[in-house]
Amino acid sequence: MRLFALLLGVLLAGPAWAEPLAVKPGLWEVTTDGLLNGLPKALTDRLARLPADQQAKLQKYLDAAGVAGGGALVRRICITPALLQRPLAGTGHGCTRALVGSSATSLEVQVSCSHGTHQGNGTLRLTVTDPEHVTGSADGQLTGADGSSVTLRRTGRAHWIAAECGGVAAPG
């Protein structure tokens, strides 16, 4: 969920040399559904060593976070006018972003990341329904040095709430 909301926040704007998505700046609510299949082997090994009560608590958290195909997750983000003008293609946080397509009503970005022994890649697609509504999907694959793999498949929708963000900060 965090990944999708962050990507949505960072990607609601097209690159400086392309037309930004036609959305209102302000406070947005992002709801995502989907699943994350598989966990890295190092994590499953650590989980197996936890006491049963801690395993149950962690499993409940992972289910709520959509790891096992759990329910919808909701997060609020602030989309500033400056964010809407931020360049999209480039690198940062161990990832490279490549613009596949962009218009005022749609965006597709390929993301490739390398963090230590993990490699990942994925695609984010956003569609502007109107200036106050956006839908999207994120699909990706993360592979560890041990060969374990995690598949991400999420869909989302976002709607504008207010012109002022209150105490909610803009993404990265």
In DSSP notation, 89-121 reads SEEETTEEEEEEEE-SSEEEEEEEEEETTEEEE
pLDDT confidence of residue 12: 44
Low-confidence ranges of the chain (pLDDT < 70): 1-18, 35-44, 59, 61-71, 87-91, 172
Whether 108 is covered by a domain: the verdict is: yes
Whether 48 is covered by a domain: the verdict is: yes
pLDDT confidence of residue 137: 94
Whether 168 is covered by a domain: the verdict is: no
> pLDDT per residue over 70-91, tens digit each?
567 788 999 988 888 776 666 6
pLDDT confidence of residue 15: 42
Q: How many domains does the chain have?
A: 1
pLDDT confidence of residue 153: 85
Domain extent at residue 81: 2-162
pLDDT confidence of residue 98: 86
- The order of strands in the sheet holding 26-37 is 73-79, 26-37, 149-162, 133-143, 118-130, 106-115, 95-102, 90-92
* Number of Cα atoms under 13 Å in the Cβ half of residue 69: 1
Whether 123 is covered by a domain: the verdict is: yes
Whether 68 is covered by a domain: the verdict is: yes
Whether 62 is covered by a domain: the verdict is: yes
In DSSP notation, 35-95 reads EEE---HHHHHHHHTS-HHHHHHHHHHHHHTTTTS---EEEEEEE-HHHHTS--SEEETTE
Cβ-contact 133, 159 below 8 angstroms: yes
pLDDT confidence of residue 91: 67
Whether 26 is covered by a domain: the verdict is: yes
**Cα separation of 118 and 40, whole Å?**
9
CA angle (148 as vertex; 70, 69 as ends), nearest 5: 10
Whether 172 is covered by a domain: the verdict is: no
**Phi and psi torsions of 80, nearest 5°:** -90, 160
pLDDT confidence of residue 67: 55
